[in-house]
Every structure is written in structure tokens, then in C-alpha cells.
């Protein structure tokens, strides 16, 4: 078992025991379970991409850009299971999955430095001249264990402010990218396990009824990826901004 698998397993264990501890409190208060589903959009910041292949190729593509195509199939989506020790509890634990996408802009001209087949390179080149395509279209997928804190602006269920709960949270876990690349005419497509991936989020929940609520959320995610491709690897560290909105069922 590699270190990523060990991390993913330990993260899953932390989620399990955190949820059990949260929901099995010794107090008389009944725990609150929240199941949420959401959609949204994601924007990955420009960064450097490194391509390494056998035969003396080690190239860095500086300040490359990406597209998200969040409204094209498969769309951006996510889900979260959270537990609070009571309806009035501020702290909660959760397990979350969200599916973003990443498409390298191969039409851009960027600075490329390093070596190509053992020969030095330092010039401005079109990305697609070397990397025909590089996408994570079936997901830059995060699976995280979350810790959350929510505030109550009023007495819950009694007035308008009582329906609002601003919240913040952080999460850490595994990342499951679906790597799709064509380099030098050689195609590759496969899911891989990586990590750790981290996220931080802030949002506001609004109670519609006793059991149903809606929410809007901003999150920031980061992971340092070393992706396997035929005869080498692609290294990239996506820093991604997410805007999400969804609906929750509380019971």
C-alpha cells in the first residue's frame, strides 16, 4: 500500500470515528445529521506544469492556464454528510466529495524551459506543440474529512435571523484525478489516487423548514499532483476557487 493509500485510509478512519463520536454523545440532546448536495463552478489559477519523460525530457511550462467547462457534461457537483451533536451545536464533523474539472489551455503560448530529448530549451512556445492535450474532465475529485463551525444569528426556528447560520470549515483527504493526456500522439486515460488534498470553505445556510435548508458557499482547494503518464509524469499543483450552492436535508 503506497503512502497515498495509507493517507486515504487514515482520513476515512478519522471521518468515521469523528462522525461516531459526534453522533454518540452522552448528552440528552438529539444529534443533528445534515445531508447536502450542491453544484457550482470552479476556477483554477494559472500555474507551472512540469513534464518529465524518458529520454532526457524535463520541461516546465510556465504560467499555463485552464478551463473548467463546469456546465458541460459531466457538470460540477458535490455532496456532504455532516453531524452536529445537537441542533444548537456550533461544531460539527463531516465527510465530503466534490467533482471539479480541469482542461489545459493548449492554444496558449508560454515560456518553456528545461530539456527536450536532452537538449536545452528556453523559449516561448505553444503548449499544444508538445502536450497535445491534458485534461481532468472526469474529475479533479476530492474526498475529504471536514471540521466545521457555525454561528447562530438568532434563536433557531423563531425568527428570520434564527434561520441564518454562517459557517466556516476546513477539510483534508484524498484526491482522485481522472488523467487524460495525449503527448506525442500517445494517449492515456486512467483514474489515480493522490493526496493529501486540502480545502477551506465559508458559507451561509438558510433554513426553509424544520428539515430543509439551502446554502451558498465559497471554497478554496489545493493539491500537489505527480501524475503518471506513459514513459513519465506530469506534475501540477492546482489552486482552485469554487462557488457552490445547494440544498440540505436535516434529521
The yes-or-no verdict on residue 9 having pLDDT over 90 is no
Is 131 part of a structural domain of the chain? yes
Is 19 part of a structural domain of the chain? yes
pLDDT of residue 1: 41
Grid cell digits, residue 72: 458541460
pLDDT of residue 2: 47
24-38, 160-174, 182-196, range with the lowest pLDDT: 24-38
pLDDT, average across residues 109-122 = 96
- Domain range enclosing 32: 3-79+104-173+183-250
Alpha-carbon distance of 215 to 50, in angstroms, equals 38
Is 115 part of a structural domain of the chain? yes
User: What count of other Cβ atoms lies within 10 Å of the Cβ of residue 242?
Assistant: 24
Cβ neighbours for 82, distance < 8 A, ≥ 6 positions apart: 33, 34, 36, 92, 93, 94, 146, 148
Is 52 part of a structural domain of the chain? yes
Number of domains in the chain: 1
Whether the CB-CB separation of 248 and 205 falls below 8 Å is answered with yes
Alpha-carbon distance of 20 to 153, in angstroms, equals 28
Is 153 part of a structural domain of the chain? yes
Of 25, 157, 7, which Cα lies nearest the Cα of 91?
25
The angle at the Cα of 14, spanning 192 to 90, to the nearest 5 degrees, equals 120
The yes-or-no verdict on residue 29 having pLDDT over 90 is no
Is 226 part of a structural domain of the chain? yes
What is the overall mean pLDDT for the chain?
91
Whether the CB-CB separation of 208 and 214 falls below 8 Å is answered with yes
Alpha-carbon distance of 200 to 203, in angstroms, equals 11
The yes-or-no verdict on residue 156 having pLDDT over 80 is yes
pLDDT of residue 244: 98
Residue 18: band (very low, low, confident or very high) from pLDDT cuts 50, 70, 90: low
pLDDT of residue 71: 87
Amino acid at each position: 500500500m503506497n503512502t497515498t493509500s495509507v493517507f486515504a485510509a487514515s482520513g476515512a478512519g478519522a471521518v468515521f470515528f469523528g462522525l461516531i463520536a459526534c453522533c454518540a454523545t452522552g448528552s440528552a440532546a438529539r444529534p443533528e445529521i445534515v445531508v447536502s448536495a450542491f453544484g457550482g463552478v470552479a476556477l483554477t489559477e494559472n500555474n507551472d506544469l512540469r513534464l518529465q519523460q524518458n529520454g532526457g525530457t524535463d520541461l516546465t511550462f510556465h504560467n499555463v492556464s485552464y478551463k473548467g467547462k463546469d456546465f458541460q457534461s459531466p457538470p460540477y457537483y458535490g455532496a456532504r454528510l455532516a453531524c452536529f451533536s445537537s441542533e444548537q451545536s456550533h461544531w460539527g464533523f463531516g465527510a465530503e466529495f466534490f467533482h471539479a474539472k480541469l482542461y489545459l489551455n493548449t492554444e496558449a503560448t508560454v515560456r518553456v524551459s528545461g530539456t527536450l530529448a536532452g537538449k536545452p530549451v528556453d523559449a516561448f512556445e505553444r503548449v499544444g506543440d508538445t502536450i497535445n492535450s491534458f485534461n481532468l474532465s472526469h474529475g479533479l475529485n476530492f474526498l475529504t474529512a471536514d471540521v466545521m463551525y457555525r454561528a447562530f444569528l438568532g434563536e433557531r426556528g423563531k425568527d428570520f435571523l434564527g434561520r441564518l447560520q454562517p459557517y466556516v470549515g476546513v477539510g483534508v483527504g484524498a484526491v482522485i484525478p481522472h488523467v487524460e493526456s495525449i503527448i506525442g500522439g500517445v494517449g492515456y486515460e486512467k483514474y489515480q489516487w493522490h493526496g493529501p488534498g486540502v480545502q477551506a470553505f465559508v458559507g451561509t445556510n438558510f433554513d426553509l423548514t424544520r428539515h430543509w435548508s439551502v446554502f451558498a458557499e465559497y471554497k478554496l482547494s489545493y493539491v500537489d499532483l505527480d501524475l503518471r503518464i506513459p514513459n513519465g509524469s506530469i506534475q501540477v499543483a492546482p489552486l482552485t476557487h469554487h462557488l457552490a450552492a445547494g440544498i440540505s436535508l436535516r434529521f
